[in-house]
Amino acid sequence: MIRAAGAILRKDLLLELRTKESVPAMALFSVMVFVLFHFGLDRDSIDGSLASGVFWVTMLLAAVLAVVRLFAAEREQGGIEGLLLAPVDRTSLFLAKGTALFAYLVALEVVALPVFSLLLLGPDLLDAMPELLAVLILADLGLAAVGALVAALAAESRARELIVPLLLLPLLVPLLIGAAKATEPLFRPEAATEHLGRWLGLLSLYDVVFLLLAVGVFDYLLED
Amino acid sequence: MYSKGLKPLSVATVIAIATALALVFFYAPNDADQGFVQKIFYVHVPMAIVSLSGFVAGGIMAIRHLRSGDSSWDVRSYVAIHLSVILGVGVLVTGSIWARASWGHWWVWDEPVLVSFLVVFLLYCVYYPLRFSIEDPGRQARYSSVFAIAAGAFVPLNFIAVRLAQAYTHPRVLSQTGGNLPGEMRLTFLVSLLAMGLLYVTLWKLELTSKHASAQLKRLRRRLEERETVAVA
């Protein structure tokens, strides 16, 4: 299973490296949204709950772009039949797609976080870096699990581009609560770590629940 | 197939609703703090509880569908979710009225139960576009079931998250579980809850019966048409 997942993941990452479809679009989109927020809020620098809200909502919206495209290659070229005919567990497909999404999100944040701190964020980012990394990794895990599940759910729908954001965003509300609340004290002028454990706990719970759930139901999505 | 027991169930529902209304208006005392408007509690809270239970039940039926491959469980799950969404509109409207009457605002963001309900409601609204944008019937049933399961698991998780997010809550006049209600109010509340539950089950059975009947009618009609074309030929 791991080997099959590895092969699909390698194919996806190679495809992304060659076509440069998802990650550059996500990065460009998030920078664009930061600029929009600058004008929309009419603020040169933000901190605290406003900053963490702007940052996380932008990340979720950028993630939507990747989730919409997650099964695009398989669908357009008919590769999905090949994958389904191959004698491998469907779970490996979920693992591969989830990991690919996780990689895209990490790549996105590598670009978006410095840009955010440069363009909008008032306080210095470096003080709170270790805590922020933990929040980012846990949030990306949850986003990847739910994103891969939603991408597969919407794959057969005629209105895919509409279904993905409508389905993904409400499912991500608990994740947004956890991530934004955990990040809020880190983005204050004097970075603090308030209730960090509680919010990291919530994010971990979310990740575990949706990872297990997705692994459990993924088999039924691509059956025939 | 589904209509068995529908009649006694309907009668029981009517009696329960009548009793609940009588208790609400003539038996339960007016709330000392909020007065008459607090009586909306006997509609709002049972409705919310039944609606959320319906969502979770829809998820459990969806699990049975995926396990057994029997598409009638998918129809059951669909009807359960459909009714819960309709009740959900009622929950949001009555909750909004209650909030306006007791706190002076149509919507309050620091009431965790109401806010989580809104998120759950928004999620379940997507069930319809998802379900009806998949054409193949078998696939439609399977994908809808997967949605129902994921969303059913999301319901408790969302409640935990939203409750955690509230640094403080409004001082509640009543605990929403009915745990510390005075005796008369508790009795009224429990009867209202029973009535709402019965109403839900009756409507669910009724809708299933009608769906089943119209499917059968369609099948018979098709057979008749086939026979006619054969006769003409």
CA nearest to B119 within chain A:
A170
Q: Which of B119, B130, B138 sits opposite A167 (nearest CB)?
A: B130
Q: How distant is the Cα of B209 from the closest Cα of chain A, in angstroms? A: 28
Does residue B1 lie in a domain region?
no
Look up the domain containing B70 and give its range.
Answer: 6-232
DSSP three-state, residue A163:
helix
The tally of domains found in chain B comes to 1
Is residue A162 within 8 angstroms of chain B, CB to CB?
yes
DSSP string computed for A118-148 = HHTB-S-SGGGHHHHHHHHHHHHHHHHHHHH
Is residue B70 within 8 angstroms of chain A, CB to CB?
no
**Two tokens at A62?**
């950028």
Cα of first residue to Cα of last residue in chain A, in angstroms, is 20
Q: What is the 3-state secondary structure (H, E, C) of B119-154?
A: HHHHHHHCHHHHHHCCCCHHHHHHHHHHHHHHHHHH
According to the model, what pLDDT value does residue B170 have?
Answer: 44
Backbone angles phi, psi at B2, to 5 degrees: -95, -20
**Whether residue A81 has pLDDT greater than 90:** no
pLDDT tens by residue, B216-232: 999 999 999 988 888 87
The torsion of the CA quartet A83, A86, A87, A89, rounded to 10 degrees, works out to -10
pTM more than 0.80: yes
> Is the CB of B162 less than 8 angstroms away from the CB of A171?
no
Alpha-carbon separation of residue B37 from A165, A214, B31, B57, B99 (angstroms) = 39, 44, 8, 31, 10
The tally of domains found in chain A comes to 1
Backbone angles phi, psi at B31, to 5 degrees: -65, 135
> Is the CB of A153 less than 8 angstroms away from the CB of B142?
no
* H helices present in chain A, as ranges: 2-19, 22-41, 48-69, 72-76, 79-85, 90-119, 129-154, 160-171, 173-183, 196-221
For A39, residues 6+ apart whose C-beta sits below 8 A from its C-beta are: none
pLDDT tens by residue, B103-128: 888 888 877 788 889 999 999 999 99
3-state helix, strand, coil in chain B (%, to 5): 80, 0, 20
Return residues 4-23 of A near B (CB < 8 Å): none
CATH of the domain at B121: 1.20.120
pLDDT tens by residue, A105-150: 999 999 999 999 888 888 877 777 888 899 999 999 999 999 999 9
CA distance B138 to B67: 14
User: Rounded mean pLDDT of chain B?
Assistant: 85
> Is the CB of A205 less than 8 angstroms away from the CB of B157?
yes
Chain A neighbors of B149, CB-CB under 8 A: 213, 217
Look up the domain containing A85 and give its range.
Answer: 2-221
Least confident span in A202-211, B26-35, B208-217: B26-35
Does residue B175 lie in a domain region?
yes
CA distance A4 to A94: 11
According to the model, what pLDDT value does residue A71 have?
Answer: 84
Q: How far is CA A31 from the centre of its chain?
A: 16
CA angle B219, B220, B226 (to 5 degrees): 90
Identify which has the larger pLDDT, B177 or A23: A23
Residues B116 and B163: beta-carbon distance below 8 Å: yes
pLDDT tens by residue, B138-183: 889 999 999 999 999 899 888 888 877 765 444 444 444 445 667 7
